[in-house]
């Protein structure tokens, strides 16, 4: 229920920084429209704030989880995935690792997690592994690197998509290790990968930090595996079949 006592209405106006209204408070304090005005301003600012935070999370376009086809994967722990959206893992600073082949729905889950986290009031950032590592590797000097590193270490939740799709050199491996180390046991990471940890030596070939990197990721984590054929290939086949039917003579 919206509070309408004069003192608390004034406190809400003060929080909104409505200086003109406050300067003439005795004139307007009992106006019947005042609670509605404050509520409208609070709602408008809340909406703009959410839009800014969503844009700042770099989530991009995505389909909502309501559109996720749970019947397509051959194997997926649906209760475990749905439980992620309660965000207890964020409170526990526990990492989440989604493992599965290409086009199995991992990115859809990742983007939705980042989006819902922002709606819940958490700061979040979504990135692909290549975008993050290339961003960090491109920095010139320690100060620039430290400022860039904060983009990935300060948000309460970091979501790193597509680990394993490309191979990286030692410099990139060290940067990934640094991100994980700075967030270790304080701020969780959600990672999607198409390779089990046993094959991460192929992702960071020759890097000496891989074993420790994996150890810190899995120390307090939940690993969710998905087995599925490519959903994009399924959609492509369905589109081709639909076009063939449309072109067929009547």
% of the chain surpassing 90 pLDDT: 62
Report pLDDT digits (tens) over 74-100: 899 999 999 999 999 999 999 999 999
Does 138 fall in a domain?
Answer: yes
CA 233, distance to chain mean position in Å, is 25
pLDDT tens for each residue of 154-172: 999 999 999 999 999 999 9
* SS3 state of residue 223: strand
- CA 93/CA 153 separation, integer angstroms: 13
Number of domains in the chain: 2
Q: 24-41 pLDDT, tens per residue?
A: 898 888 888 988 888 888
The residue behind tokens 């893992």 is 89
Percent helix / strand / coil, the chain, rounded to 5:
55, 10, 30
* CATH code of the domain in which 174 resides: 3.40.50.300
* Contact criterion met (CB below 8 Å) for 6 and 35: no
> Could you tell me which of 134, 20, 114 has the C-alpha nearest to residue 64?
114
Q: Give the Cα separation of 150 and 232 in Å (integer).
A: 34
Phi, psi (rounded to 5 degrees) for 149: -60, -35
155 & 89 share domain: yes
Q: In this structure, is residue 240 part of a structural domain?
A: no
Whether residue 146 lies inside any domain: the answer is yes
Domain that holds residue 104: 65-233
Helices (H) and strands (E) in the chain, counts: 13, 5
Report phi then psi at 225, rounded to 5.
-100, 140
d(CA 85, CA 114) in angstroms, rounded, equals 10
Q: Is residue 247 part of a domain?
A: no
122 within 8 A of 115, measured Cβ to Cβ: no
Instruction: Specify the higher pLDDT residue, 21 or 183.
Output: 183
Q: Which H or E element spans position 142?
A: helix 142-153
Residue 52 neighbours by CB under 8 Å, 6+ apart: none
- Per-residue model confidence (pLDDT) at position 1: 45
The answer to the question of residue 60 being in a domain is no
Q: Do 22 and 85 belong to one domain?
A: no
Tens of pLDDT along 132-156? 999 999 999 999 999 999 999 999 9
Residue 109 above 90 pLDDT? yes
Please, which residues bridge with residue 223 across strands?
97
Q: What is the pTM (predicted TM-score) of this model?
A: 0.80
| Contact of 75 with 87, CB cutoff 8 Å | no
Is residue 1 a part of any domain in this protein?
A: no
Radius of gyration in angstroms for the set of CA atoms belonging to the chain, rounded to a whole number: 24
List the structure tokens of 230: 């490519």
pLDDT at res. 237? 66
> 103: which 2 tokens?
């086009």
**In the predicted model, is pLDDT for residue 236 greater than 60?**
yes
Query: Whole-angstrom Cα distance, residue 213 to residue 180?
Result: 7
The total of other beta-carbon atoms located within 10 Å of residue 151's CB is: 17
Are 22 and 132 within one domain?
no
User: What are the angstrom distances between the C-alpha of 157 and each of 88, 115, 151, 188, 224?
Assistant: 12, 11, 11, 6, 18
In a domain, 250, yes or no: no
């Amino acid at each position: 229920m919206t509070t309408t006592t004069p003192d608390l209405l004034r406190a809400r106006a003060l929080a909104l920084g409505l200086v003109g209204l406050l300067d003439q408070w005795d004139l307007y304090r009992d106006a019947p429209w005042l609670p509605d005005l404050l509520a409208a301003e609070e709602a408008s600012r809340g909406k703009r704030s959410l839009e800014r935070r969503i844009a700042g999370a770099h989530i991009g376009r995505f389909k909502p989880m309501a559109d996720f086809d749970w019947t397509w994967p051959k194997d997926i722990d649906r209760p475990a995935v749905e439980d992620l959206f309660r965000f207890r893992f964020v409170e526990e600073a526990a990492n989440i690792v989604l493992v599965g082949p290409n086009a199995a729905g991992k990115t859809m889950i990742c983007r939705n997690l980042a989006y819902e986290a922002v709606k819940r009031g958490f700061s979040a950032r979504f990135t692909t592994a290549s975008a993050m590592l290339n961003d960090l590797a491109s920095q010139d000097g320690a100060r620039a690197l430290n400022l860039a590193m904060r983009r990935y270490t300060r948000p309460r939740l970091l979501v790193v998509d597509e680990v394993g799709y490309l191979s990286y050199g030692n410099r990139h491996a060290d940067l990934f290790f640094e991100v994980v180390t700075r967030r270790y046991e304080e701020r969780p990471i959600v990672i999607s990968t198409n390779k089990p940890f046993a094959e991460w030596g192929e992702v960071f070939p020759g890097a000496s930090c891989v074993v420790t990197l994996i150890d810190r990721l899995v120390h307090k984590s939940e690993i969710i595996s998905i087995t599925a054929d490519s959903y994009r290939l399924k959609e492509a086949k369905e589109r081709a079949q639909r076009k063939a039917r449309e072109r067929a003579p009547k």
